Amino acid sequence: MLDLQGWFGVPEAECYKDLVRNIKNGKVVEIGCWKGLSTSHIGKICNDNNTWLVVVDTFKGSDNNEEKGIAENEDIMKIFMDNMKELGIWYTIIPESSVEASKY
């Protein structure tokens, strides 16, 4: 069962999809994916366009918000991976901070 959660409304999703639709045979890097709500909007487009989707997230939440507490009690990366599997979305995870991931 999908457990998508994030901070993404319909207007943001439409804008995000429009941006990604134009990328074919390329690479999209999403910084911050949490449980995959925003990723769910672009993943199928990336798959259809033969675009490599890379997601970067520590899956630990931010230091000063309630998500940190959630991440201490739930395996957020597993939830993300289960969500993407159920949606049939292919991706690569870099489970690092954006600063660390930028070194790749």
- Per-residue pLDDT in tens (0 to 9) along the chain, 104 residues: 888 877 788 899 999 999 999 999 999 999 999 999 999 999 999 999 999 999 999 998 876 666 666 777 889 999 999 999 999 999 999 999 999 999 88
Look up the domain containing 81 and give its range: 25-101
Q: Is 53 exposed, middle or buried (0-12, 13-18, 19+ CB in 10 A)?
A: buried
Counted domains in the chain: 1
Q: Does 19 map to a domain?
A: no
Residue 88 gets which letter from DSSP?
A: T
Reported in sequence order, the residue ranges of 1-104 that DSSP labels E, i.e. its strands, are 27-31, 52-56, 92-94
User: Degrees (nearest 5) of the Cα angle 60, 34, 20?
Assistant: 140
**CATH classification at residue 68:** 3.40.50
**49, two tokens:** 């366009």
Domain assignment present for 20:
no
